[in-house]
A and B are shown apart, each in its own frame.
Chain A
Amino acid sequence: MNAPVALASGQPAQFRDTRFTVPSIRCAGCIAKIERELPKLDGVERARVNFSAKRVAIHHSASLDDVDLTKALRAIGFEAQPVSENPLARDDADTRMILRAVAVAGFGMMNIMLLSISVWSGASGATRDLFHWLSAIIAIPVIAYAGRPFFASALMALRYGRTNMDVPISIGVLLATALSLYETATSGAHAYFESAVMLLFFLLCGRALDATMRTRTRAGIGALLGRIGKSASVFQPDGSCLRVSAEELQSGMLVLVAAGEALAADGVVEQGDGAVDNAMLTGETTPQTVGAGIEVHAGAINVLGPLHVRLTAVAGDTALAEIARLMDEAGQSRSLYVRIADRASQLYAPVVHSLAALAFIAWMLAGAGWHQSLVIAIAVLIITCPCAMGLAVPAAQVVASGALIKRGLLVKDGSALERLAEVDVALFDKTGTLTLGAPRPDISALDDTTRSIALGLTQASRHPLSQGLAEALISEGVKAAIVEEIEEQSGQGLTGRWEQAAVSIGQPQTAQDGMASELTVGDLHWTLRFNDPVRGDARQTIDRLQSLGIESRILSGDISQSVKRVASDLGVPAQAGASPQKKLALLEGLKADGHKPLMVGDGINDGPALAAAHASIAPSTASDASQQAADAVFIGEKLAPVAFAVTIARQTMRIVRQNFTFAIGYNILAIPLALFGMVTPLIAAIAMSVSSLVVVGNSLRLARSGKDET
Chain B
Amino acid sequence: MPTSPHAGARPSIAIVGAGPSGCYTAQFLRKDWPDAEITVFDRHEEPFGLLRYGVAPDHLGTKALAKQLVRIFDRSGVRFVGGVEVGRTMTLADLRSRYDAVVLATGLWGDRRLPGFHPEESATDPVGLYGAGRITRMINAHPGRESADVRLGERTVIVGLGNVAIDLVRLLLTPPESLTEIGVPDDAVAALGHHETRTIDVVGRSSASEAKFDAAMVRELARFTDVAFTSDMPDAADAADPRVAAVRELTSLPSPAAPARRVRFHFGWTPARLEADHRVRTSVFRDVEGTRRDLRLDTDSVITAVGFTESGQDAVRCSELRSATSDLDRGVLDSGLYSVGWCRRGPVGTIPANRSDAKIVAATITADLVARSSATGSAA
A interacts with B: no
Binding site for B on A (CB under 8 A): none
Binding site for A on B (CB under 8 A): none
